[in-house]
């Protein structure tokens, strides 16, 4: 019995080692190198100097940069909320559709994502063009004035971000909702719950895993956004991703770029760590 257990263990190890090794070599090591570089001084010629310093991190927390860190956070936060707002009803209704319609809708959501990301952003530039049809319709409806510029605004960054990451929110919510037994909602209503109560107290807690995954799937790439603010953002839409690019390519300051990347990583790992540790804690408490 013991021998068999060992054999099974060995097999498990054999299949786990290659991906683990891959992650270690191509993810862990570069990440550690980047973090190390963040503590190095830089020369004006773009070299990474010997020695250690905290200066890069001290610079990061100057008021100038706090504005941009804050902007990155709130743009990502709002985009995530809007994504969830649209993804939740979509996932809910998709789960209730017949098999055939479910597949059609799923296809409609996924197929556009076979088109290159950049091309889809450029498409938005055409849609929002001041001489475009959308502008024309909105003007004739009296919603915007002739001089309103729909491009190059922070709102545009949020709009395009939501458009880009919405499927990443819909899919996990749909996957969770698909497993949900909708008869429970009827049962709740039979027991006197209103429609809203049964939705918020029965449905939502049951798909909470999907909601969490959706939040992370949208929030993480949002925080690291670079192309979207670069292409459709205005003069006030710069995010951390753009700062990293500036530091690496214009300022020739690789340590500073690495420091920014480290902060970005911390911003992502911190909430994830929080979620995981509260989970562990609650499990321990239950024991």
Partner 1 sequence: MKKLLFLTILLLITPFLFISCSKSKKVLYIYNWSEYIAPELMSKFEKDYNCKIVMDYFDSNEAMYAKLKVGSPGYDLIVPSSYMASIMNKKEMIINLDKSKIPNIKFIESKYSEKTEDPKMQYSVPYAVSFTGLGYNKKKTPAVKPTWSIFGDKQYYHQISMFNDMRESIGAALKYLGYSLNTTDDKQLAEAKQLMIKWKKNLAAYQNEEAKTSLADGILLVIQIYNGNMIQMQSDTPEMGFLIPEEGTSIGVEVLVIPSDSENRELAYNFINFMYEPENCAKNMEYIAYLCPNTKALELMDKDLLGKIIISDELFKKSEVIKDIGGENTKYVRMWDEIKAH
Closest approach of Cβ 45 to partner 1, in Å? 5
Please report whether residue 231 would count as binding partner 1 according to CB under 8 A.
Answer: yes
Of 96, 127, 130, 144, the one binding partner 1 (CB under 8 A) is 130
Our finding on whether 233 is near partner 1 (CB under 8 A) is: yes
The rounded distance, in Å, linking the Cα atoms of 53 and 213 is 37
Q: What character string, x for contact with partner 1 (CB under 8 A) and - otherwise, covers 61-80?
A: ---xx-xx------------
Q: How far is the CB of 138 from partner 1 (least distance, A)?
A: 16
Nearest approach in angstroms of CB 198 to partner 1 is: 47
- Find the part of the chain contacting partner 1 (CB under 8 A) among 27-35, 183-191, 241-249, 269-277: 241-249
Residue 62 Ramachandran class (φ > 0 left, ψ -120 to 50 alpha, else beta):
beta
Q: How far is the CB of 268 from partner 1 (least distance, A)?
A: 22
Among 209, 126, 121, smallest CA distance to 165 is for 121
As to burial, measured by CB atoms within 10 angstroms (0-12 exposed, 13-18 middle, 19+ buried), residue 253 is: buried
Bridge partners, residue 236, by sequence? none
Tell which one of 129, 134, 189, 193 touches partner 1 (CB under 8 A).
129
Min CB(114)–partner 1 separation in Å: 23
d(CA 51, CA 40): 6
> Where do the H-state alpha helices sit in 191-253?
195-198, 204-206, 208-223, 227-232, 240-245
In terms of CB distance, is 215 or 253 closer to partner 1? 253
List 42's β-bridge partners, or say none: 48
The one among 107, 147, 190, 205 contacting partner 1 by CB under 8 A: 147
Helical segments of the chain, H only: 2-23, 29-37, 55-60, 63-96, 99-110, 117-127, 133-140, 154-179, 183-190, 195-198, 204-206, 208-223, 227-232, 240-245, 254-286
Residue 63 or 192 with smaller CB distance to partner 1 = 63
Greatest alpha-carbon span in the chain: 79
Q: How far, in Å, CA of 99 to CA of 181, rounded?
A: 15
Sole window of 95-103, 126-134, 157-165, 190-198 interacting with partner 1 (rule: CB under 8 A)? 126-134
Part of the chain binding partner 1 (CB under 8 A), chosen from 38-46, 49-57, 195-203, 266-274: 38-46
- Contact characters 247-286, partner 1, x per CB under 8 A: xxxxxxxx--------------------------------
Q: Is the Cβ–Cβ distance between 125 and 232 less than 8 Å?
A: yes
Residue 135 CB, nearest approach to partner 1 (Å) = 10
User: Which residues lie near partner 1 (CB under 8 A)?
Assistant: 44-47, 64-65, 67-68, 122, 125-126, 129-131, 147, 149, 151-152, 230-231, 233-235, 238, 243, 246-254
């Amino acid at each position: 019995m013991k021998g068999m257990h060992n054999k099974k263990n060995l097999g498990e190890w054999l299949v786990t080692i290659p991906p683990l090794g891959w992650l270690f070599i191509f993810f862990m090591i570069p990440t550690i190198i980047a973090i190390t570089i963040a503590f190095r001084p830089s020369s004006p010629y773009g070299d990474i100097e010997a020695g250690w310093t905290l200066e890069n991190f001290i610079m990061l927390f100057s008021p100038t940069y706090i504005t941009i860190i804050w902007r990155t956070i709130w743009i990502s936060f709002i985009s995530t909320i809007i994504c969830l707002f649209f993804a939740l009803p979509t996932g809910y209704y998709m789960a209730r559709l017949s098999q055939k319609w479910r597949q059609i809708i799923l296809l409609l959501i996924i197929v556009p994502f076979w088109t290159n990301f950049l091309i889809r952003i450029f498409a938005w530039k055409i849609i929002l063009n001041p001489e475009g049809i959308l502008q024309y319709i909105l003007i004739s409806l009296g919603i915007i004035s002739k001089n309103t510029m729909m491009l190059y605004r922070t709102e545009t960054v949020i709009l395009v971000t939501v458009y880009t990451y919405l499927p990443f929110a819909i899919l996990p919510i749909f996957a969770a909702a698909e497993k949900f037994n909708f008869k429970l909602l009827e049962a709740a209503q039979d027991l006197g719950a209103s429609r809203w109560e049964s939705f918020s107290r029965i449905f939502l807690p049951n798909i909470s895993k999907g909601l969490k995954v959706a939040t992370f799937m949208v929030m993480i790439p949002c925080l690291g956004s670079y192309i979207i603010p670069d292409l459709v953002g205005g003069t006030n839409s710069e995010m951390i991703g753009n700062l990293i690019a500036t530091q690496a390519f214009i300022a020739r300051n690789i340590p500073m770029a690495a420091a920014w990347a480290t902060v970005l990583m911390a911003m992502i790992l911190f909430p994830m760590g929080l979620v995981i540790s509260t989970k562990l804690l609650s499990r321990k408490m239950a024991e």
